[in-house]
Amino acid sequence: MTQTPPPATSLPHHKLFAYELCLSLVKLVAKTRVADAQLRAQARKSAASAALNCAEGAARQTRADKSRAYAIALCECCEACAAIEIAGALGACSAADVQAVVALGTRTKNILSRLVRFAVSARPSFARSKNPDHSAVADSTTDPRADAQPQST
């Protein structure tokens, strides 16, 4: 008798690598030993908030709402890392733990910042310009090739 596999998850945040990184940050911060109770609580709260806001951004419908939620997640990620760094500076946390949290936090921040920029700048091509004369002109805000110098042949 064969068992049927469990149904695939259909929640929007399960598709995001950024959410996985945020969850990893939550787990790492939770297992990091911080002697200062206030900094420990702040780091855990901020890391959890980063994951929650990342999930919220995935579920939002408009680009502006997505960008806002991802930006908040990015700030919360940085705050969680800062709390651990401060604990390390005060001697309430090991340097190895600080290094591990900052490394994962930096990776998470980089991915979240891309989501913030993508949610704001991604527009359908027909929305770039209503003027047919501008259709061949590169938009420097969304096309990195727009600043490139033409090569002579």
The mean pLDDT value for 87-103 works out to 98
What is the spatial distance between Cα 36 and Cα 129, in angstroms, rounded to a whole number?
55
Give the Cα separation of 73 and 23 in Å (integer).
Answer: 12
Return the pLDDT at 7.
57
Per the model's pLDDT, the better-predicted residue between 122 and 134 turns out to be 122
User: pLDDT confidence of 153, banded at 50, 70, 90?
Assistant: very low
pLDDT band at 34 (very low <50, low <70, confident <90, very high): very high
Query: Could you tell me the CA-to-CA distances from 4 to 7, 9, 96 in Å, in that order?
Result: 9, 15, 44
| Nearest CA-CA partner of 30 in 18, 42, 14 | 42
Residues of 90-99 as b/e, b for ≥16 C-beta within 10 angstroms? eebbeeebbe
- Using N-to-C axis directions, what is the helix angle for 37-59 and 17-31, rounded to 10°? 170
pLDDT above 90 coverage of the chain, percent: 70
pLDDT of residue 95: 98
Q: How confident is the model over 108-133, as pLDDT tens digits?
A: 999 999 999 987 776 544 344 444 44
Checking if the pLDDT of 147 tops 80, the result is no
Q: What is the pLDDT of residue 150?
A: 46
Q: Which helix (H) or strand (E) holds 149?
A: none
Domains of the chain, first to last: 12-121 (1.20.1440.60)
pLDDT value at 149 more than 50: no
